[in-house]
Amino acid sequence: MRKGFHRLAVVESTTVGKGTRVWAFAHVMKGACVGARCNLGEGVFIESGVVLGDDVTVKNGVALYDGVTVADEAFLGPHAVFTNDLRPRSGRFKRPPSKFAATNVGRGATIGANATVVCGHDVGAYAMVAAGAVVTKDVPPYALYAGVPARRVGFVCACGEKLPQSLRCSCKRRYRRSGAGLVAVAARGPTSP
Ligand SMILES: [Zn+2]
């Protein structure tokens, strides 16, 4: 077993980036694409069509099904739920995978513990979904969504702090409104998200 993979992990994929750690009882199916320096917690399941970027954290008990894509530095909290079929049926009315809906989690976004992301929606870059929320529509970049169904209750900085009305964070990052979300405003000197 490769260094960083627990001996009780089942890693069938050959495309797992350097430095990625896989804890016990996690299962990464053949064909799944996992970037570098990810951390896949205990009991994580990753289906064959899933794509994870670099530096993604997937906490214990999260299952990612075909159609889910997760960008770099995203954080998926413990037992967050993802789906891939908007009209799930079994038996005679079971739908083919071609009818499944995609879910994209943007760069640096956070999905809180036990939150549910109903498929067919995008969670924007650096957005934050609160614990237990149920996402039923797209979440704009830097938006803070909470509740069932989830609604916007504010905006957050890339650093994770809730932003004041001024959209200036104590960490010096600044933002302006753009569509339903925010974009970072370049400050003097080197900028990072
Ligand atoms: Zn900040």
Q: Which residues contact 149 (CB under 8 A, 6 or more apart)?
A: 134, 135, 136, 137
CA of 20 from ligand 1 middle (Å) equals 27
Tell me: the pLDDT tens digits for 52-110? 999 999 999 999 999 999 999 999 999 999 999 999 999 999 998 888 999 999 999 99
CA of 105 from ligand 1 middle (Å) equals 20
- pTM value? 0.94
CA of 42 from ligand 1 middle (Å) equals 30
| Dist CA 75 CA 91 (whole Å) | 35
CA of 118 from ligand 1 middle (Å) equals 28
CA of 170 from ligand 1 middle (Å) equals 6
Tell me: the pLDDT tens digits for 159-191? 999 999 999 999 999 999 999 999 999 876 555
